Copies of this chain bind each other. A is one copy, B any other.
Amino acid sequence: MATIKDVARLAGVSVATVSRVINKTDFVNPETAGQVLKAIEQLQYEPNAVARGLAGKKMGIIALILPDILNPFFPALARGVEDVAHKKGLTVILGNSDDLGLKESSYIKVLKKKYVDGFIIASNTIREEDVEALRKERIPIVLLDRGLNTASCAVIRSNNREGAKIGVQHLIEQGCQRIAHIYGPQEFITARERLLGYEEIAKGLSGYSPSLMVSGNFDIEGGRKAVEQLLTRHPDVDGIFAGNDLMGVGALKALHERGIRVPEEVKVCGFDGIGLTEITEPELTTVAQPIYEMGKLAARILLDEIESGIRENSIIELDVTLIPRKSTQ
Contacts and interface: CB of A to CB of B under 8 A. Distances in A.
Most buried by B among A78, A91, A93: A91
Interface stretch (A69-77, A121-129, A160-168, A227-235): A69-77
A83 interface: yes
A50 B114 contact: yes
B72 A69 contact: no
Task: Give this chain's copy count.
Answer: 2
How many chain A residues sit at the interface, stated as a range, is 35 or more
Interface stretch (A27-35, A174-182, A272-280, A316-324): A272-280
Most buried by B among A50, A60, A74, A95: A50
Contact of A61 (B70, B78, B82, B93): B93
Nearest to A111: B91
Interface in A11-27: none
A115 interface: yes
Contact of A275 (B72, B78, B86, B107): B72
Contacts of A69: 69, 75, 78-79, 82
B54 A50 contact: yes
B256 A46 contact: no
B94 A94 contact: yes
Nearest to A71: B75
Contacts of A276: 276, 279
A288 interface: no
Interface in A246-291: 249, 253, 256, 275-276, 278-281
Contacts of A159: none
Contacts of A93: 61, 91-94
Nearest to A92: B94
Contacts of A95: 82, 86, 91-92
Contacts of A78: 69, 94
Most buried by B among A74, A109, A115: A115
Contacts of A99: none
Contacts of A79: 68-70, 96
Contacts of A49: 110, 113-115
A185 interface: no
Given A49-B114, A50-B115, A276-B279, 10 more contacts: A46-B109, A50-B54, A53-B114, A70-B76, A70-B79, A74-B75, A78-B94, A82-B94, A92-B94, A220-B279
5 contacts: A48-B115, A60-B114, A89-B110, A91-B110, A279-B279
